[in-house]
Structure 1
Amino acid sequence: MAESPAAGSTSSSSPPPSTALIDRTLHALGFQFTLISPTKVTGRLKVTETCCQSFNVLSGGVSALMAETLASLGAYVASDFRRVAGVQLCTNHIKAAPLGEEVEVEAKPIQVGRTIQVWEVQTRKIDPSTSGSNILLSTSKVTLLCYRQAPHASNYEETIRKYAKL
């Protein structure tokens, strides 16, 4: 599980963050963060060949990667920028997202403690034919350990503070 957090946010007063500044792996897949806050982290991904498995649907591993990354970023911000490490990830895949579709991912905390946080992450297919009723693809629960300050991450903390809604 990832030890360093990752994500980005958009507020009305700041431009959307470069995903590359927030998380290089998700950036390579084409993921874009739309919100970072201590209570919610969101983003979008177009399903391309790069993130598909052999049957041209979104890889379950990519769904798990997005879940842990968004939960880790949320935990990082919610813990006042303390180092976080994933200790458990459970993902249930409900429906497939075929090549060419766009998905949105939303992470919200279930429990924010001093040392342990639990986040729920939902991935939904964006259905342009409906207004607001997107199709649930997967749901994840991520448990994270929050511990000491991360002294080597001061540039990362500055980047996240720049884009986060605090």
Structure 2
Amino acid sequence: MTEENLAAAFNENNTPFAKMMGVKMTLVTKERLEGELEVTADHCTMPATLHGGAMMAMADNMGGIGAFMNMAPGSMTTTVESKTNFLRAIPQGQTAKAVTTPVHLGRTLQVWKTEIFREDGKLAAVVTQTQMIRPAKDG
């Protein structure tokens, strides 16, 4: 059985920061997330390549969505650790494509891996993050 793709719902209701950055989800299921970011001058460092912080922010948002999709009702999630390996630059004008998959789906901790690719399909970065799952606070 194939899961429903919830990308449209997450694009509409994504976090304000992800919307401001221009992150577009193309696939959102419990086991796989895919997203894109058109690299504009506003996303770049010198020379005109995607800033590492933008890659990390994109991956953090996607890992958070993955955790949300896999946590119990009445829970919330927060990133408690994130590690990035930068392998290649992504030039301005290209679209960064990211794929996020679970490494571990525990009750209180989840680990997610995001691979970010250039348009030529070469791997540009790998982000591994740990999401803590805890009960949502009342009030």
What TM-score bracket applies, with the shorter chain setting the length? 0.7 to 0.9
Instruction: Provide TM-score, normalisation by structure 2.
Output: 0.88
Q: Identify the range of structure 1 (75-84 vs 87-96) with the bigger mean alpha-carbon deviation.
A: 75-84
In structure 2, how many angstroms separate the alpha carbons of the residues matched to 1:46 and 1:35?
16
- Counterpart in the other structure of 1:86: 79
Pairs within 5 Å for 1:19-34 = 19=11, 21-34=13-26
- Counterpart in the other structure of 1:144: 131
Segments of structure 2 that go 5 or more residues without pairing to the other structure are: none
Q: Identify the range of structure 1 (67-76 vs 27-36) with the bigger mean alpha-carbon deviation.
A: 27-36
2:45 to 48, 53, 60: 53
In structure 2, how many angstroms separate the alpha carbons of the residues matched to 1:117 and 1:18?
20
Higher relative contact order (CA 8 A, sep 6+): 1
In structure 2, how many angstroms separate the alpha carbons of the residues matched to 1:32 and 1:147?
27
In structure 1, how many angstroms separate the alpha carbons of the residues matched to 2:126 and 2:138?
33
- Counterpart in the other structure of 1:95: 88
In structure 2, how many angstroms separate the alpha carbons of the residues matched to 1:24 and 1:141?
23
- Work out the number of aligned pairs and report it: 135
In structure 2, how many angstroms separate the alpha carbons of the residues matched to 1:143 and 1:77?
15
Q: Give the 3-state SS of the residue equivalent to 2:20 in structure 1.
A: helix
Q: CA deviation at 1:19?
A: 2.8
In structure 1, how many angstroms separate the alpha carbons of the residues matched to 2:137 and 2:11?
21
- Counterpart in the other structure of 1:130: none
Segments of structure 1 that go 5 or more residues without pairing to the other structure are: 1-9, 128-133, 153-166
| Contact 1:106 1:123 (C-alpha < 8 Å) held by counterparts | yes
Taking only aligned residues, the RMSD between alpha carbons, in angstroms, comes to: 2.0
Q: Deviations over 1:87-146 (max 9, x none)?
A: 10000000000000111111100000000110111000123xxxxxx1100001001100
- Counterpart in the other structure of 1:5: none
